[in-house]
Each structure stands twice: as structure tokens, then as C-alpha cells.
Amino acid sequence: MRNKRLAAGLCLAVVFAALLAQPNIVRAQHAAQNAVGPYCDRACLYGVLDQYLHALAAKNPTQVPWAKFVRNTENNVALRVGDGLWGTITSFGDYNLRFADPQNGQVGFFGVVTETRATSVYALRLKVEDGKISEVETLVRRAEGNSGPFPNPPKLVDKPVLNETVPPDHRVPRARLIALVDGYFNTLQLNDGKLFTEFTDDCNRIENGLLTTHNPDLVKTIPVANLGCADAFRMGNYRYDTALRARRYPLVDEERQLVLAGGFIDHSGALGTFKLTDGTVIDSPMRTPSTLCLMELFRIQDGKIRQIEAVFIGVPYGMPSPWVPSE
């Protein structure tokens, strides 16, 4: 018995000595534990995003660091993890727009995804807690067949203004960023020519891969498409947007002055002919009840909206949001 205790003691001494002799290993293990702690910085969030995208491309959700409980939606419908796009994805395109909010543990991605027979714009939001994914929100604007005015397949190009880090003295605080975007939605809702936010003169908007501002080739479809953001709204062209509801601002990238918003645009369909503020008579393009579900990214420059990029899909009229309890 005494020999057994002596052997056990010697074994523990060897292990303890080995740990003392390898402080770098101990420090590395400690650093790894901290890397999945409560706070996840930009590099950490992008790392989790890459894990998710690689796993999705491989159709293998077991490669994802999932939290114990996960909320997962695709096109505004709650799905079990591994369903939907996980079973149909073929590849990702080259477009890679990513942004992060370390304060709220949020990371986002806009890209292009190919499934078996369709190539679509794709928007993704992940919430990361303790290094693990607890929320997944996905929008895929599948354009198989009739894509309307939107390019099919979509062609998205990098925009430096969405990727640059803004010097601290040119940043506005988080609350102001959200207020500017909320003002944009107030301007769009029942648009009558009044502005409730501010725009730069060169502000542009991309919707499902289509430039809808400063684009004279699109005026037959959108009468104000040749104008910039502010001037188009001053014309009151979007009066048929009845409500901008279930607004959410889950991700604010303060370093890059970006805000990711979610919500719905409702069209009652009741509006027929109306006049723009210059007197031009317009027939509303929305003549039946309809709703758009959106994820929209805004770049703020010196307190004004400079660039907008949106992914939206049609959903049943008045469809509620699984992300807003009151809905």
C-alpha cells in the first residue's frame, strides 16, 4: 500500500514539474480559454463567421460552434439548424462584405450564393456568445425565373466606402447612427417629400444588386431612379410604402459607421394614382396588399447617410417577425 502511495506521489510530482517546465503551453491554454470568453472582438467575430460560412459551403453544420440554444431563421421563417440553404448550397460568389459589432456580439455578411439552379443575393447575421453562435438570421433573395428589374444572376462589386475604418474624430455615436437610419425609414414610410434624416449629395442605394439611384437607365421602372437619395425622396415617389414596421438595429459597426437594420415594408395596395411633388402623375406599382422583408446596411459619413445596400424578399402581407416579440 505504501509503495502504491509513493508511486502516485511520484507521478503527480512529474506532472507538476512538467507543467512548471512548460509555461508557454500553460499560457497558450489560458489564452485559448479567454478567446471564447464573454467578449469577442472583431477578429474573433470574423473567425466565427468564417467557420459558419465554411461549414455552410460544406453542408456540414457539425463544424459550427453552436450555443446550447440557437434561434435560426431563413427568409423570416424559423427553421431547424441544417435545413434550408444547408441542403441546397452549391457555392459562394466572390462578393464578401462583412461587418461586426463587438459590443453586442454581432457579425454580418452580404454576399452571393449559388444553389442548384439559382444564384442569389444573400444576407446573414450571427449573434456570438462565449465564442458560440446563438442566433442565425438569413435572407436569400432567390430569383429563379422572373427576377423583375433586378439583375439575374446578381453582380455585386466591392465598395471602398463600406470597408474603410473611419477615424475616431469623424465618427458619430451609436445612438445617433441608429437615429439617422430610423429617420430614413420615417422618410420612406408614406413618403410625401419630407426628409427625416440627412444624406450626402453622392448617396447611393443598391437593392438586391441593382443601383436604384443615379441610374437614368431605370427611370421607366422607377421614375426617380436618375436622382440621388435625398432628391428621390423629395419627389415623394414612395408614397405607396404604407408602413415600415418591426424595425430592428441589431448591429452597429462604430469603427466603420455602419448600421444593419431589419424590418418590413407593407403596401396596403389601396393607393391608385398620385402626384409627385413636381406635379407628375404616377400610377402606384403596388395595387395589391404585399410586404417586403429586409436586411439593410447603412454607411454614415459625417452624420449623413452615404451608402445603402439592401437585400429584401417578398413575404405574405402583414407577416410578423420571429425576432420581434410584439409582432
Tell me the pLDDT tens digit for each residue of 157-174: 999 999 999 999 999 999
293 DSSP assignment: E
Last residue of a domain, one of 81, 107, 141: 141
What's the total number of domains in the chain? Answer: 2
Domain check: are 307 and 252 in the same one?
Answer: yes
Last residue of a domain, one of 141, 175, 196: 141
Confidence of residue 16 (pLDDT cuts 50, 70, 90): very low
Decide if 224 is inside a domain.
Answer: yes
SS3 22: coil
Confidence of residue 144 (pLDDT cuts 50, 70, 90): low
Decide if 196 is inside a domain.
Answer: yes
Domain check: are 310 and 226 in the same one?
Answer: yes
Domain check: are 222 and 276 in the same one?
Answer: yes
Decide if 204 is inside a domain.
Answer: yes
Domain check: are 294 and 179 in the same one?
Answer: yes
Domain check: are 232 and 308 in the same one?
Answer: yes
CA-only gyration radius of the chain, Å:
24
State residue 116's pLDDT score: 86
Q: Is the pLDDT of residue 231 over 50?
A: yes
SS3 85: helix
Domain check: are 132 and 190 in the same one?
Answer: no
Decide if 65 is inside a domain.
Answer: yes
Last residue of a domain, one of 141, 156, 179: 141
Structure confidence by residue, pLDDT tens digits, 172-184: 999 999 999 999 9
Domain check: are 195 and 309 in the same one?
Answer: yes
Q: Is the pLDDT of residue 100 over 90?
A: yes
Q: Is the pLDDT of residue 219 over 80?
A: yes
Domain check: are 272 and 310 in the same one?
Answer: yes
Structure confidence by residue, pLDDT tens digits, 232-245: 999 999 999 999 99
Domain check: are 178 and 301 in the same one?
Answer: yes
State residue 203's pLDDT score: 98
Decide if 30 is inside a domain.
Answer: no
Among candidate residues 177, 189, 181, the one with its CA nearest the CA of residue 205: 181
CA–CA separation, 281 and 283 (whole Å): 7
Domain check: are 125 and 221 in the same one?
Answer: no
Q: Is the pLDDT of residue 187 over 60?
A: yes
Domain check: are 224 and 82 in the same one?
Answer: no
Q: Is the pLDDT of residue 1 over 90?
A: no
Confidence of residue 147 (pLDDT cuts 50, 70, 90): low
Structure confidence by residue, pLDDT tens digits, 251-267: 999 999 999 999 999 99
Q: What mean pLDDT comes out for the span 264-291?
A: 96
Decide if 55 is inside a domain.
Answer: yes
- 247 is in which domain, residue-wise? 165-315
Q: Is the pLDDT of residue 224 over 60?
A: yes
User: Any idea what the CATH number is for the domain that residue 133 is in?
Assistant: 3.10.450.50
SS3 324: coil
Measure the CA angle with vertex 99, ends 94 and 103; round to 5°. 160
Confidence of residue 312 (pLDDT cuts 50, 70, 90): very high
Q: Is the pLDDT of residue 23 over 50?
A: no
Q: Is the pLDDT of residue 31 over 70?
A: no
Q: Is the pLDDT of residue 12 over 70?
A: no
Confidence of residue 33 (pLDDT cuts 50, 70, 90): very low
State residue 17's pLDDT score: 37
Q: What mean pLDDT comes out for the span 117-123?
A: 93
Decide if 3 is inside a domain.
Answer: no
Q: Is the pLDDT of residue 197 over 90?
A: yes
For 123, the enclosing helix (H) or strand (E) is: strand 119-129
The answer to whether the beta carbons of residues 55 and 65 sit under 8 Å apart is no
Instruction: State the chain's mean pLDDT as an integer.
Output: 89
Distances in Å between the Cα of 154 and the Cα atoms of 101, 175, 261 are 27, 33, 21
CA–CA separation, 315 and 188 (whole Å): 19
Domain check: are 106 and 186 in the same one?
Answer: no
Decide if 268 is inside a domain.
Answer: yes
The answer to whether the beta carbons of residues 98 and 109 sit under 8 Å apart is yes
pTM for the full predicted model: 0.87
Question: Which of the pair, 117 or 72, is modelled with greater confidence?
Answer: 72
